[in-house]
Amino acid sequence: MGASTQPAPLNAQQLHDVAGLDQVRRPTRGPLPTWTRTFQMTLGVLRGTLERNKDNVWRARLLTDKAATPIPLRVKLSKIYIPRRKDVLPEGMSERDAEGVVKGEWVDWDRVPNEKVASERVILYVHGGAYFICSRKTHRGITYRLAKYAKARLLAIDYRLAPEATFPVPLNDIISCYLFLIDPPPHTGAPKYRPEQVTFMGDSAGGALALSSLLWLRDHGKQYPMPGCAALISPWMDLTHSMPSWRLNNQYDYLPDGSNDPKYINKERSHYYVPHNSFLDHPLVSPLFAKEDPQRPLPPLLIQIGDAEKLRDECIAFTEHKFPNSPIRLELYEDQVHVFHMFATFNSISTCALKRMGQFTLDMVAHYTNNANDHDAPPPPVDHAVLRIANSKNHPATPIIDPLRIIDDAKNVLMARNQWIGRKSTGKPAMSRSESVFVVDPDYVNYDLEVAKELDNLAIAGGQVKP
């Protein structure tokens, strides 16, 4: 990763000592040692759902458009419509693309005495869904918990989805919502927040959109202030799929290798979010290709990923190779998959991660509040660090001394299996978009045949819905 010479391969014990993650001795397929039966079954059902519906946008949306996560009765939801800003136009957009409003909802765990007065903290949350499915409603299981643990108001938004809205259109929605928080139109009566009171959050594609919005704000720093901090869940940093974990962790994670609806996908366009493959390595599409700017640093970032997820290595590379001097805390959660936070109902490490995100927001905003009148105040207390959180009692955190070794080790494993194309430093995983090394197998997840049959009838584990 950027060095002139590649480090020598390590044996299994050395890898464990250096990186806190033994990929050589890890099972070649799930279940992983710390998975419960419930967790294992849930992953199988989720993987089956995505695999069976990934090649038809209409059918995939049929499963998510009407879905809404149940929430406790005490949670208050309030609809809001936010006008798009025509003065915020990422390159490639016109004023016509910025017409209309963004639908959203306030998510409140605690009672809000006066909604026209700014609370102490506010979260802007951008949902995931591979840029083309899901909504603020599907992610309420995450958003209400974050509002609870951060003791904050949370604004969850529905940005425009691909393939109808491609890059950079969704960025306008997110930046418009952020500016609505810090500079609301007077006629709305909305509260005005200071930038340092705002935390950007998002998961998967939403995490990437939140990060890309930060990068856009950074590059337009004379016009727009940065938010106080950001906390991202499994952000999708690399749409080129160049990192080894995209292949190596395919046997554990539930993410499909790609979506191939022939109505939209062809040789020149391999993803719904971009109009053409030439955009895949654009730094606002794939933040892994962004560059650090010492003169205009990013705000403090918390990034949480599973160490068994396909997007693991791109987040490590972003943190350690592309932004090594930025205030980023990267947390790898043992044996966890993509956006494992959604399993908080039955997975204690998911709750742990959400609580850590909440505490991060509390700490950052408290720092800004305590030093509001001190122009010589020290920066927020975020040291650049990579931690591994154990999936065991109390979930202890251990520093990872050399995180880039994890990527090197993953490449070594793939090379030994003849699953890496080209040189170690410049190659890529040996997988085409139409190939999947994971076969949906009911025996793999060991759920009862009766349950499998019922799920099949619901078009979740094998059946299909006719258009």
For residue 318, give the 3-state DSSP assignment: helix
Whether residue 464 is contained in a domain is answered as no
Contact of 184 with 196, CB cutoff 8 Å? no
pLDDT at 62 (0 to 100): 87
Quote the DSSP letter at residue 368.
Answer: H
| 405 occurs within a structural domain | yes
- Digit-coded pLDDT (tens) for 71-123: 999 999 999 999 999 999 999 999 999 999 999 999 999 988 888 888 999 99
- The Cα–Cα gap between 415 and 51 comes to 27
Distance between CA 166 and CA 168 in Å, rounded?
A: 6
For the segment 292-301, the average pLDDT, to the nearest whole number, is 94
Looking at the DSSP assignment, which residues form a beta bridge with residue 198? 122
**Model confidence band, residue 336 (pLDDT cutoffs 50, 70, 90):** very high
What does pLDDT average to over the chain? 87
In a domain, 25, yes or no: no
Neighbours of 191 (CB within 10 A): 16
pLDDT value at position 376?
65
Any idea which of 244-248, 279-283, 455-459 has the lowest mean pLDDT?
455-459
- Rounded to an integer, the average pLDDT of 442-460 is 39
pLDDT in the model for residue 16:
44
Residue 36 lies in a domain: no
235: domain CATH number is 3.40.50.1820
Q: Within a domain: residue 23?
A: no
Two tokens at 136?
A: 């603020």
Neighbours of 236 (CB within 10 A): 29
* Close Cβ partners of 352 (under 8 Å, ≥ 6 residues apart): 389, 395
Domain assignment of residue 449, given as a range? 42-372+379-421+436-458
Model confidence at 2, pLDDT cuts 50, 70, 90, reads very low
Domain presence at residue 5: no
How many domains is the chain partitioned into structurally? Answer: 1
**Per-residue pLDDT reduced to its tens digit, 455-464:** 444 433 333 3
Domain-embedded: residue 466: no
Number of H helices, E strands in the chain: 12, 12
Amino acid at the residue 44: G
Q: How far apart are alpha carbons 185 and 319 in whole angstroms?
A: 36
User: Does 149 map to a domain?
Assistant: yes
Higher pLDDT, 237 or 375: 237
